[in-house]
Amino acid sequence: MYRTHSCGELRASHINSEVTLAGWVQKSRDKGFMIWVDLRDRYGITQLIFDEERTSLDLLESARKLGREFVIQVTGTVIERQSKNPNIPTGDVEVLVKKLTVLNEAKLPPFTIEDETDGGEDLRMKYRYLDIRRNPVKEKLLFRHKVAMEVRKYLSDQGFAEVETPYLIKSTPEGARDFVVPSRMNEGQFYALPQSPQTFKQLLMVGGMDKYFQIVKCFRDEDLRADRQPEFTQIDCEMAFVDQEDILNTFEGLTRHLLKELKGIEIGEFPRMQYDDAMRLYGNDKPDIRFGMQFGELNEVTKHRDFNVFNNAELVVGIAVPGAASFTRKEIDQLIDWVKRPQVGALGMVYVKCNEDGSFKSSVDKFYDQEDLAKWAEKTGAKVGDLICILSGQTDKTRTQLSALRMEMAERLGLRKSDEFAPLWVVDFPLLEWDEETERYHAMHHPFTSPKPEQISLLETEPGKVKANAYDLVLNGNEIGGGSIRIHDKKVQAMMFDYLGFTPQEAKEQFGFLMDAFEYGAPPHGGIAFGFDRLVAILGGQETIRDYIAFPKNNSGRDVMIDAPSKLDDEQLKELNIGLDISK
Amino acid sequence: MYRTHSCGELRASHINSEVTLAGWVQKSRDKGFMIWVDLRDRYGITQLIFDEERTSLDLLESARKLGREFVIQVTGTVIERQSKNPNIPTGDVEVLVKKLTVLNEAKLPPFTIEDETDGGEDLRMKYRYLDIRRNPVKEKLLFRHKVAMEVRKYLSDQGFAEVETPYLIKSTPEGARDFVVPSRMNEGQFYALPQSPQTFKQLLMVGGMDKYFQIVKCFRDEDLRADRQPEFTQIDCEMAFVDQEDILNTFEGLTRHLLKELKGIEIGEFPRMQYDDAMRLYGNDKPDIRFGMQFGELNEVTKHRDFNVFNNAELVVGIAVPGAASFTRKEIDQLIDWVKRPQVGALGMVYVKCNEDGSFKSSVDKFYDQEDLAKWAEKTGAKVGDLICILSGQTDKTRTQLSALRMEMAERLGLRKSDEFAPLWVVDFPLLEWDEETERYHAMHHPFTSPKPEQISLLETEPGKVKANAYDLVLNGNEIGGGSIRIHDKKVQAMMFDYLGFTPQEAKEQFGFLMDAFEYGAPPHGGIAFGFDRLVAILGGQETIRDYIAFPKNNSGRDVMIDAPSKLDDEQLKELNIGLDISK
């Protein structure tokens, strides 16, 4: 053992003890006759002291040569500090060093290993092993461990068994693109890495495992948007003999447990919102309900005038931005520019200021009178001092635009507080969604999701209106989990594949084993999967996941630290019976 | 919720309660006027009863139609059984059914879902979801979950943090063959799946994580011997600022914890054995020490006679098989045939019977007298009634052959008791091993293993004699864990790569990031990895791992249930910029 104590351990009660510590030189201050060194390890920082009076000259000289991030071992006596540091737990004491061993030298790191670093994202990723030494990154990884432990503890206590499902599985064209793995032993054939253990967890239910979970890596070969990773971690769960209510209660329990254990926050019953209401009131299937600004639909109260922009719009809809009536003309113009940016895509914005004297001032005063505007204020819940922002156009697009504006205003007004947690169940998702490109319906959740039994007949006539027993758990405007009650009947499953455009042949080839399994006594079952990276980040009070992943990839799917992916030897390719496609 | 209780829950105290159960029909007995159905779920079996007197005719008729493995839901009253079944926890009661719902029908399963099944291995694997319904398989998977939970609990309590390392990494030709993954976004480049998180855990140590563990899938594209899987699970661990003693103590603690919590067995300090002694005394680096039969080397006490087989042999070595002097001539001949099988490869076997009267009878009585044989008995520790089996030849081969014989005899004599646990540390492994094929030294453990510091100079003169700070944890003749103190010095690491035949260029290309990391303050560190599948199997009292894996692959690396690997669409290949190699 290289140490008797960690660098976060020593207190006043240790004074006069002889201790041995090991760690990294955080920094040193050399006053000539006296040298202080901050020694750091995972657990904290302890101040070391060398001085002319009590330290041999040799030792003082050695201490003087210590550079940042040198790895050292010291033995010495714990003494009381003359000027205590109340900011760190070891701040009452320091170690008067008697013996110093340099365990490893260090080159000057390419960025400072401090809470606030001068290293940019790229540099930090290339030297991730140095970045991890920094408190903010290290604490996030330790927090992730803690969340995982609590998840496992809770679910295990509830009777769930963690079962490992395979990573080398079969490619299925449905859904996102698979990463594939050539099989050397089965020439010309490939495994795929799982996008999720979906079919395996369903087979475990057929197998009578009853309550399954797994914290598991999943893989999607997608073009990476910011803050997406080609490999990501899921808390994957499934239960048999349950209906939707049981699943919501179980995983509301899990989420409540995490909030309590990790954040000390007790939250009562989670509100539930229908998908249709979420879209109508927030323009979004994952509304952030930490703040208001619910949508007010204004078609009824706008269409009696000659303002054709509104009259021709499928939807006229507004939000009341609290306190924003004080915006200057310039600020409002900037806001209009903001909604017209291609990322948002609105054609314009109508606004109404709710003045202190109870009057209204709008950008469409030519068309609407005070009485009209009062109705708009009522519909959007606007109060004195608020600014009503109104967008109009095709329903879906307008809702998306206004949702973006709502989030932007909340951000600007500081309403998205990272220490406030507002969970929400969004339920009754549509079963299918229309895909413009392929001109057919796709499964909104996945092809194993059960339509609401009473709506199965609607599939023939109005497939877009059929709702599923599908639900998302939303936390602070982020979807942290989603799931559904599954189909457990072979005939319904075959019908679903048919609606989704699979030929019986294709369905059999890709999911034959599941269809077969359904013939041997499949129980009713359902489940949920949480995006673990995102869940941890949100619990940690952040919106970006990257620092909660020890070794993340960049937006090109590269690990810049190890420089992967990389080329293979020809020999390796040959053994795998594949070649690089040079046809183009 | 489909049930008020599980099928393993009802006791005499529930008599007269109305309950709802759901599960699978295990079997039914129809006596005409009375039908009993065994209803099964993960938690147990409950007997249901339908009878003419108390059950409506319709219901009786429905019950009559239930087939094996039908999924049903029943509501009824808990009543006392007339003939109790003491073999199951619910054996005091049965449920008089009032309502029966068939949730799903089932085809007759291809094998019986009983503890002893009529299904062969292949059939069971194809319908693994049915196999998992069987108690022996289900219990093994639940046991695995329990072991994983205990591992995590113990290590987490010891301050270890579980950190997820990436699955899409870089291919390195060192070691076994990698599975690779073509990168669509980085044309012509490939990821590799990790054979172990070795370099990442070392980087985490450089990053100051101090104590790391992970229960993690690893991948090796090897030709599969029986009971090997292309994907397998490791408990991967690493610690900083430790020496070998710290690691042995920590993981001895873990193993002791598992034996206590899972098997109720308390074991004291684990014995330690040098690698050289293990080879000398057991012919094996993972000796099963649940029984004796240590090797006795006989060169000294055989070479003074004219028996050239022994005189010309590098090693003459024997074991005393307890009680086997009673073997008939025929049995001994069969044993000689057994060691001569190509799988063992001995040229013959000399034997000595230690008779009840104290005399000896050997197959080489022509050459050796009673006094000689008495010496052999002494060297092998043979007692009256034992059979001394002696092999001779080249040292390594002979040891391997005798080790095989020793294990076979122990098996036959019932000395390998599955409820007895004999852990053992084997330490001081050689750093390098000579590879006949490539005519160079390979790292015995891996290229990051530290030579014993005092022996580094030997590398120049006698590299084969250099020992490493490397250790294996052996349990009942199986290596369940192995690890080493790592090199943390860039110069030593470069030297090791040099000895292993890497050019500086190759070393830089493959492990440059690790060498770089070593320049920025790497702490002394070391670790261990446990083969989790094997550990669980041995704790479960079994030697084969397959039933401890939910969805294992067969010896061709195929998942016969989902039929993977499989062919890809041309389009998918094209997108990945690869083609099938049709050059041969």
What is the CB neighbour count within 10 angstroms for residue B314?
A: 12
Backbone CA torsion sign across A100, A104, A106, A112: negative
Best residue in A74, A101, A147, A520 to probe B by mutation, most B CBs within 10 Å? A520
Contact B564/A519, CB-based, under 8 Å?
no
Q: For residues B258 and B345, state if they share a domain.
A: no
> Is A285 domain-assigned?
no
> Beta strands of B289-398 (E only): which ranges?
296-297, 315-321, 350-354, 360-362, 387-393
Contact A181/B180, CB-based, under 8 Å?
yes
What pLDDT does residue B12 have?
97
Cα B335 from Cα B404, distance rounded (Å): 12
Q: What is the mean pLDDT of chain A?
A: 94
In 3-state terms, what secondary structure has residue B526? strand
CA atoms within 13 A on the CB side of A503: 3
Burial class (CB in 10 A: 0-12, 13-18, 19+), A584: exposed
Contact B551/A583, CB-based, under 8 Å?
no
Place of tokens 């799917």: A557
> Is A89 domain-assigned?
yes
Query: Is-contact B190 B181, C-beta < 8 A?
Result: yes
What is the CB neighbour count within 10 angstroms for residue A248?
A: 19
Nearest Cα of chain A lies from the Cα of B402 at a distance, in angstroms, of 34
Task: Taking residues B366-388, report their average pLDDT.
Answer: 97
Checking if the pLDDT of B201 tops 50, the result is yes
Closest partner residue to A164 among B106, B520, B550, by Cβ?
B550
Q: What is the pTM for the complete model shown?
A: 0.95
Contact A42/B209, CB-based, under 8 Å?
yes
Structure tokens at A132: 């991890």
Q: What is the pLDDT of residues A28-64, one digit of tens each?
A: 999 989 999 999 999 999 999 999 999 999 999 999 9
> Is A53 domain-assigned?
yes
- Domain boundary among the residues A415, A434, A462 is at A415
Cα A573 from Cα A568, distance rounded (Å): 7
Q: For residues A26 and A69, state if they share a domain.
A: yes
Among candidate residues B26, B129, B150, the one with its CA nearest the CA of residue A209: B129
Query: CA of A520: how far to CAs of A515, B111, B447, B559, in Å?
Result: 9, 11, 50, 19
What is the CB neighbour count within 10 angstroms for residue B174?
A: 17
What is the CB neighbour count within 10 angstroms for residue A409?
A: 20
Place of tokens 């864990």: B481
Task: Taking residues A489-502, report their average pLDDT.
Answer: 87
Among candidate residues B91, B104, B28, B92, the one with its CA nearest the CA of residue B63: B28
Q: For residues B403 and B471, state if they share a domain.
A: no
The two beta strands, A180-182 and A190-192, are antiparallel
Contact A208/B40, CB-based, under 8 Å?
yes
Q: For residues A173 and A268, state if they share a domain.
A: yes
> Is B506 domain-assigned?
yes
Task: Taking residues B377-403, report their average pLDDT.
Answer: 97
Contact A566/B3, CB-based, under 8 Å?
no
Which chain A positions have a beta carbon within 8 Å of B67's beta carbon?
Answer: none
CA A472 remoteness from chain centre: 14
Name the strand (E) or helix (H) holding A175.
Answer: none
What pLDDT does residue B574 have?
86
Q: For residues B317 and B358, state if they share a domain.
A: yes
Cα B386 from Cα B327, distance rounded (Å): 10
Checking if the pLDDT of B64 tops 60, the result is yes
- Domain boundary among the residues A386, A415, A444 is at A415
Residue A83 sits in a domain whose CATH number is 2.40.50.140
The confidence band for A508, taking pLDDT boundaries of 50, 70 and 90, is: confident
Q: For residues B492 and B522, state if they share a domain.
A: yes
> Is A34 domain-assigned?
yes
Checking if the pLDDT of A582 tops 80, the result is no
Q: Which residues of B80-111 are buried (b: 16+ CB within 10 A; e: fewer)?
A: ebeeeeeeeebbbbbbbbeebeebbbbeebeb
Checking if the pLDDT of B87 tops 60, the result is yes
Place of tokens 């195929």: B558
Output the DSSP codes for A301-318: GTTTSS-HHHHT-SEEEE
Q: For residues B265 and B161, state if they share a domain.
A: yes
Which chain B positions have a beta carbon within 8 Å of A166's beta carbon?
Answer: 231, 550-551, 553, 559
The confidence band for A223, taking pLDDT boundaries of 50, 70 and 90, is: confident
Q: Which residues of B399-417 are buried (b: 16+ CB within 10 A; e: fewer)?
A: bbbbbbbbbebbeeeebbe
Closest partner residue to A521 among B71, B217, B579, by Cβ?
B71
What pLDDT does residue B463 have?
87
Structure tokens at B4: 């008020």
- Work out how many domains chain B is built from and give that number: 3
Query: Is-contact B534 B480, C-beta < 8 A?
Result: yes
Contact B564/A41, CB-based, under 8 Å?
no
What residues are paired with A441 via a beta bridge? Answer: A434
Query: CA of B177: how far to CAs of B112, B146, B224, B502, B513, in Å?
Result: 39, 32, 12, 17, 21
Cα A438 from Cα B161, distance rounded (Å): 46
The rounded percent of chain A whose pLDDT value lies above 90 is 82
Task: Taking residues B383-404, report their average pLDDT.
Answer: 97
Q: For residues A299 and A385, state if they share a domain.
A: yes
Among candidate residues B250, B294, B290, B234, the one with its CA nearest the CA of residue B541: B290
Nearest Cα of chain A lies from the Cα of B578 at a distance, in angstroms, of 4
Name the strand (E) or helix (H) holding B253.
Answer: helix B244-263
Cα A209 from Cα B249, distance rounded (Å): 36
Cα A314 from Cα A399, distance rounded (Å): 11
Q: Which residues of A368-390 are buried (b: 16+ CB within 10 A; e: fewer)?
A: beeebbbbbbebbbbeebbbbbb
Cα A251 from Cα A472, distance rounded (Å): 11
Among candidate residues A178, A204, A206, A174, the one with its CA nearest the CA of residue A192: A178
Between A and B, how many residue pairs show a Cβ–Cβ distance under 8 A? 370
Task: Taking residues B334-349, report their average pLDDT.
Answer: 96
Checking if the pLDDT of A143 tops 50, the result is yes
Among candidate residues A571, A480, A546, the one with its CA nearest the CA of residue A225: A546
Place of tokens 């590799």: B192
Which chain B positions have a beta carbon within 8 Å of A225's beta carbon?
Answer: none
Checking if the pLDDT of A583 tops 70, the result is no
Output the DSSP codes for A104-120: E-BPPPSS--SSS-S--
Nearest Cα of chain A lies from the Cα of B442 at a distance, in angstroms, of 20
For residue B149, which phi and psi values (nearest 5 degrees)? -60, -45
Burial class (CB in 10 A: 0-12, 13-18, 19+), A185: middle
> Under 8 Å CB-to-CB from B300, ≥6 apart: which residues?
none
Closest partner residue to B551 among A166, A223, A242, by Cβ?
A166
Q: For residues A433 and A405, state if they share a domain.
A: no
The rounded percent of chain B whose pLDDT value lies above 90 is 83
> Is A128 domain-assigned?
no
Best residue in B2, B102, B104 to probe A by mutation, most A CBs within 10 Å? B104
Which chain B positions have a beta carbon within 8 Å of A556's beta carbon?
Answer: 185-186
Among candidate residues B509, B489, B507, the one with its CA nearest the CA of residue B498: B507
> Is A119 domain-assigned?
no
- Domain boundary among the residues A356, A385, A415 is at A415
Name the strand (E) or helix (H) holding B569.
Answer: none
Which chain B positions have a beta carbon within 8 Å of A181's beta carbon?
Answer: 179-181, 193, 565
Length of chain B: 584
- Closest residue in chain B to residue A197, using alpha carbons only: B551
Q: What is the mean pLDDT of chain B?
A: 94
> Is A555 domain-assigned?
no
> Under 8 Å CB-to-CB from B399, ≥6 apart: which residues?
B279, B280, B283, B284, B295, B315, B317
Task: Please compute Rg for chain A using Cα positions.
Answer: 30
Contact A165/B550, CB-based, under 8 Å?
yes
Q: What is the pLDDT of residues A86-136, one digit of tens each?
A: 999 999 999 999 999 999 999 999 999 999 998 898 999 999 999 999 999
Residue B332 sits in a domain whose CATH number is 3.30.1360.30
Cα B435 from Cα B462, distance rounded (Å): 15
Nearest Cα of chain A lies from the Cα of B245 at a distance, in angstroms, of 8
Contact B186/A557, CB-based, under 8 Å?
yes
Q: What is the pLDDT of residues A544-555, one digit of tens each?
A: 899 999 999 998
Nearest Cα of chain B lies from the Cα of A280 at a distance, in angstroms, of 31
The arrangement of strands across the sheet holding B350-354 comes to B296-297, B315-321, B387-393, B350-354, B360-362
Task: Taking residues A469-486, report their average pLDDT.
Answer: 96
Greatest pairwise CA separation for chain A in angstroms:
93
Q: For residues B18 and B58, state if they share a domain.
A: yes
Residue A522 sits in a domain whose CATH number is 3.30.930.10
Which chain A positions have a beta carbon within 8 Å of B177's beta carbon?
Answer: 184, 575
Q: What is the pLDDT of residues B411-437, one digit of tens each?
A: 999 999 988 999 999 999 999 988 888
What pLDDT does residue A174 have?
64
Q: For residues A429 and A405, state if they share a domain.
A: no
The rounded percent of chain A whose pLDDT value lies above 70 is 99
Question: Whole domain around residue A80: which residue ranges?
Answer: 12-104
Checking if the pLDDT of A584 tops 50, the result is no
Name the strand (E) or helix (H) holding B93.
Answer: strand B93-104
Closest partner residue to B24 among A221, A521, A583, by Cβ?
A521
Which chain A positions have a beta carbon within 8 Å of B145's beta carbon?
Answer: 156, 161-163
Q: For residues B328 and B299, state if they share a domain.
A: yes
Contact B521/A105, CB-based, under 8 Å?
yes
Checking if the pLDDT of B271 tops 60, the result is yes
